[in-house]
């Protein structure tokens, strides 16, 4: 997402993940599913840092920069989605037909 315009594959991956977590809400609370999803994202982002730095020593050097980047990005994404849900609350929170 270097140009800030997600390609179609981005949305396909995103929707695949959302479908999995939505399915998990049938057997767990949304709060529990959200917690495990957030932990999974954190775990995967740690993997990204490990993969891109190539060593524990380099990970330690890049740790603070990675924390700033990932938490900053999460905040921007969360702000955007909170605004979107606020503006579209009635449409998004309609009961879905079964």
Supply the pLDDT for residue 1: 41
Count structural domains, the chain: 1
Residue 58 domain-assigned (yes or no): yes
Mean pLDDT calculated for residue range 8-35: 97
Could you report the per-residue pLDDT of 76-98, keeping only the tens digit for each? 999 999 999 999 999 999 877 76
Residue 3 domain-assigned (yes or no): no
Residue 68 domain-assigned (yes or no): yes
Supply the pLDDT for residue 23: 97
Residue 41 domain-assigned (yes or no): yes
Judged against a pLDDT cut of 70, whether residue 49 lies above it is answered with: yes
Residue 43 domain-assigned (yes or no): yes
Q: For residues 67 and 87, what is the distance between their CA atoms, to the nearest angstrom?
A: 30
Is the whole-model pTM more than 0.85?
no
CATH number at residue 43: 1.10.287.3020
The boundaries of the domain holding residue 59 are: 8-92
Mean pLDDT calculated for residue range 56-71: 98
Q: Are 20 and 34 in contact (CB under 8 A)?
A: no
Residue 97 domain-assigned (yes or no): no
Q: What are phi and psi of 96, to 5 degrees?
A: -90, 135
What is the number of other CB atoms lying within 10 angstroms of the CB of residue 48? 11
């Amino acid at each position: 997402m270097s140009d800030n315009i997600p390609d179609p594959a981005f949305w396909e991956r995103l929707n695949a993940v959302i479908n999995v977590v939505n399915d998990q809400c049938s057997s767990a609370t949304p709060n529990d599913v959200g917690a495990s999803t957030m932990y999974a994202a954190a775990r995967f982002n740690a993997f990204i840092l490990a993969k891109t730095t190539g060593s524990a020593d380099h990970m330690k050097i890049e740790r603070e920069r990675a924390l700033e980047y990932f938490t900053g990005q999460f905040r921007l994404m969360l702000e955007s989605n909170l605004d979107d849900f606020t503006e579209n609350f009635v449409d998004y929170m309609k009961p879905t037909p079964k």
